[in-house]
Structure 1
């Protein structure tokens, strides 16, 4: 943990603290009103689509946000690893869909330990007979049964069976292991790109549902309503439509699992949301950016150039550099924001960001700049604590982050 992160923890613990007066910057900032809007919006979307929602918790790894999502009606939480699952369990989550393979005896042992709680419900993915055999032997040795789902992928993508026949063969392999229960089928469409991405995603989702119907007809599943699940944060509307079109909601438990929606962003997911709204004219309002990083002007070494006390240790840079939003004067309450959106971050180093100033923009050392981000997952993982703030930038809650 960096010193700045440690100081944010101490500062944010006091609800009377204000970002412009009391919190050591840089800080991870989450605005309460758009956060609450986003959680309610996506839950309503899933419900209207006849699906359940299992938000992907690896976006934030913030148990306080998990609890808000579950309280709003989420069916469970999606996680990516056994360690993340343990952190979610410690935060009160009792139903986890691990959208990944459970590999390695240490990870299997971690899940087996959690499964000693009869109130804990867990599902993981399989896509290869070797993994099926390893899981079957391990959990048989523990006297437990593990819920598994077949992952169906695409050529050149991530994990998952590449053909429909591989899915059928894997279902037979699972049947041979009494310690495993085949409970559904899963896919991830976010790796489908290109000019025909929309058509490709629709075809993939339709194939996923066809396989689910075939396996159900053949008695492969051990649930009356097997789970069929897909959807990241960019194409959830197409997946929901495919599930509805194939009448999956009646015969299956259809589960959507977007993650980044909880705080949205000012970059790739903002652009993706515009596409969703273009495709779905019935959605009159979309998600709102709730996540920012606040940092101070550290140096003004040349005309038209500022160095900001924020860098790769503080903010994502994999899907676009931080986006300047507003300028505030430190200690001025109530703060009046000045638009600095004409400024541009051109590079980030470990602890510094280089920002070119727009014509007429005059900054002072110590000015506070709020920055939008692209791809919130890789901003959250830089921090151990985030500041949930109200409209006056008062810190109303400290959010622990469990990466």
Structure 2
């Protein structure tokens, strides 16, 4: 019987050649860039006195989680109870669920994990007294203690208390629930936009830290060194600066939570990285590690090609795929040809329309490596992918758990 993983698109085996042995399309991660990104972000956080809890929802690939943890990550951030269960089943020992735990079935998943594994270090977010009451009742009835963090948001943003007064009120509500332990305060700056985004994000981070100090002074936290946490994948340098203060380092565990950095991208996060480098003065940043590879399957008109991949294979929410290089089966990796002047103009379920730049030699059966914007929505289209070396040999395959 054929193994189930061999029936998935992009199936590969270690040692296989990306140019000759794998049925395309395939999800590809370049090992050198992956290793660079993991080490770079870990060092960025550590040098600023912060811990790193990478957001695992980007890849939902336990093999990548383990690489991040082995490099020094404090834990993993996840978004749902089901994601948490998958991570715990693959050896993750600490999870910050940067979301609310709502609904009895989801609460039951976490209760089962805590019952079976009392040393599993789990934290989730709360932003409303009704939610605090529901969690207190559910976990109290089972004799379990649940660690929670207050989520602090911004008007018009995502979740979170909308004012400092609401944060104080929620802390009092948590104190009235014997089954809950307040372990920190959390925010997310990625919903702050506009011409004054940098100023507004800095003000938000300062407010977050100020609230953390106030609650600590009131004895609201159950930890001697409570957690203060924020940062997505675009503005993490501003959050790190707010956390990189002596009083924060001494009194709190500052935790950063970027996720997309693990493979970076060729689009929105590439653009955001330019801002990070400009603000920090760093010479070297993250490197795009993720690509999707596909064949040229039709050339029905001059200067026009159809690629054998589409919306089911690659993200398109933050920009269309970007042609990078052309390969030919049987050639060496070093014989790649730059095709970045070509343009994908539209994608369908299983097809991408590409305008071929003048002077670009292209034939049916050629292989195109494509970059993408917003890696989260590329990963979730795959159940397995491959990590390749400089010679485009597969060194590792990995599964996703979406």
TM-score range, shorter chain: over 0.9
Larger displacement relative to structure 2 (45-54 or 114-123)? 114-123
Counterpart Cα distance in 1 of 2:302 and 2:7 = 31
> What displacement does 1:362 show?
2.1
Q: Distance in 2 between matches of 1:266 and 1:249?
A: 34
Deviations 1:51-73 (Å, cap 9, x if unpaired)? 00000000000000000000000
Give 1:8 deviation, angstroms.
Answer: 2.4
Q: Which residue of 1 aligns with 2:166?
A: 166
Unmatched segments (≥5 aa) in structure 2 = none
**Matches of 2:377 and 2:38 in 1, distance apart?**
20
C-alpha distance 153-278 of structure 1, shift in aligned 2 (>3 A): same
| Residue 118 of structure 1: aligned partner | 118
Aligned to 1:384: 383
Cα 1:353–1:7 change in 2 (3 A) is: closer
User: Where does residue 150 of structure 1 map in the other structure?
Assistant: 150
With the length of structure 2 as denominator, give the TM-score of the two structures.
0.97
Task: List alignment gaps of at least 5 residues for structure 1.
Answer: none
How many angstroms does 1:7 deviate by? Answer: 4.4
Instruction: Give the alignment's TM-score, normalised by structure 1.
Output: 0.97
Measured after TM superposition, the shift of residue 247 of structure 1 is 2.9
Equivalent residue number for residue 88 of structure 1: 87
Shift of 1:246: 7.1
CA distance in 2, matches of 1:150, 1:246: 23
Instruction: Report how far residue 6 of structure 1 moved.
Output: 1.1
* 1:47–1:351 Cα change, 3 Å: same
- Counterpart of 1:361 in structure 2 is 360
d(CA) in 1 for partners of 2:301, 2:247: 62
| Secondary structure at the counterpart of residue 170 of structure 1 | helix
Are 2:277 and 1:252 aligned?
no
- Relative distance call for 1:30 and 1:5 in structure 2 (3 A) is farther
Equivalent in the alignment of 1:8: 10
Are the equivalent residues in 1 in contact too, given 2:333–2:390 (CA < 8 A)? no
Q: CA deviation at 1:249?
A: 1.5
> How far, CA to CA, are the matches of 2:82 and 2:242 in structure 1?
32
- How much is the aligned-residue C-alpha RMSD, in angstroms? 1.3
Aligned-partner Cα distance in 1 for 2:254–2:105 = 31
**Alignment deviations for residues 310-345 of structure 1 (CA, whole Å, 9 cap, x no partner):** 100000000000000000002323551001000000
Q: What pairs up with 1:40-59 in 2 under 5 angstroms?
A: 40-59=39-58
Q: Distance in 2 between matches of 1:39 and 1:394?
A: 21
Q: Deviations over 1:62-92 (max 9, x none)?
A: 0000000000000000000000001101111
Contact map agreement 1:150 1:184 (CA 8 A) in 2? yes
Q: 1:152 to 1:144 in 2, by over 3 A?
A: same
Residues 164 and 211 of structure 2 are in contact (CA less than 8 Å); yes or no, is this contact kept in structure 1?
A: yes
Please identify runs of 4+ aligned residues in structure 1 that moved more than 4 A: 2-5
Q: Do 2:327 and 2:333's aligned partners in 1 also have CA atoms closer than 8 Å?
A: no
CA–CA distance in structure 2, aligned partners of residues 334 and 234 of structure 1: 32
Q: 1:388 to 1:91 in 2, by over 3 A?
A: same
